[in-house]
């Protein structure tokens, strides 16, 4: 990977790390956030990614530690100085596959209170929580439900944010041990598990369904 490719890749990593903070205020898709502030993420990546101790998630955490900030404020030297000061106190994060697995387990626990996704969606309070992204659990697991995808396509105008189903699924598919999580999700949803047009391609990459 040459330096130009690395900068682009790290600009995406910075954007992804920043996204949850932005989403709390302005529900948008990850793609929308990156495209809107792309120049600032690229500039920050070009400044910081080649330096010792660079970590995009920890950099963004230190950047947002004292309150909400916009990406325009990211590519300045003061940000790096603050990052180095905060760095010893920022704990290491769990691996992404562990984080995602925990989110899915928590969602399964909540969904088991209902008789399937259809029953969950029939409750008005749950619908309102979905529309405003105020659920008690991450909706990632719902993107694997055919019932939920149909519900979203029918009511997408009522959602205050866009759900990128392919992106959410791909977050799991791309993990080194993603196939294990996928098999658990498939077992949980059974016949409601979504139909994936690239199943053969995924099988060739080691995902077993």
Enumerate the domain spans of the chain.
3-89, 96-204
DSSP 193: B
Taking the alpha carbons at both ends of the chain, their separation in whole angstroms is: 33
Q: Is the pLDDT of residue 209 over 70?
A: no
- Torsions phi, psi of 175, nearest 5? -65, 150
**Which pLDDT does position 203 carry in this prediction?**
54
pLDDT confidence bin for 24, thresholds 50/70/90: confident
pTM surpassing 0.85? no
Helix (H, G, I), strand (E, B) or coil at 145: strand
Distance separating alpha carbons of residues 175 and 75, to the nearest angstrom: 30
Q: Is the pLDDT of residue 200 over 70?
A: no
Measure Cα distances from 109 to 59, 104, 113, 124, 152 in Å. Answer: 33, 9, 7, 20, 22
Tens of pLDDT, residues 152-197: 999 999 998 888 888 888 888 878 788 888 888 999 999 999 875 5
């Amino acid at each position: 990977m040459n330096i130009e490719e690395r900068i682009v890749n790290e600009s995406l990593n910075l954007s992804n790390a920043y996204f949850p903070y932005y989403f709390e205020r302005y529900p948008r898709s990850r793609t929308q956030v990156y495209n809107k502030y792309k120049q600032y993420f690229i500039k920050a990546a070009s400044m910081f990614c080649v330096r010792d101790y660079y970590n995009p998630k920890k950099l963004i955490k230190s950047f947002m530690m004292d309150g909400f900030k916009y990406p325009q404020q990211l590519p300045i030297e003061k940000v790096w100085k603050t990052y180095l000061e905060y760095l010893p106190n920022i704990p290491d994060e769990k691996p992404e596959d562990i984080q995602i697995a925990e989110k899915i387990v928590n969602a399964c626990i909540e969904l088991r209170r209902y008789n399937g996704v259809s029953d969950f969606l029939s409750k008005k309070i749950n619908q309102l929580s979905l529309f405003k992204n105020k659920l008690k659990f991450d909706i990632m697991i719902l993107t694997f439900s055919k019932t939920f995808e149909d519900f979203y396509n029918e009511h997408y105008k009522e959602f205050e944010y866009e759900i990128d189903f392919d992106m959410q699924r791909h977050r799991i598919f791309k993990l080194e041990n993603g196939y294990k999580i996928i098999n658990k999700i498939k077992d949980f949803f059974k016949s409601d598990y979504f139909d994936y047009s690239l199943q053969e391609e995924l099988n060739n990459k080691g995902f077993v369904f």
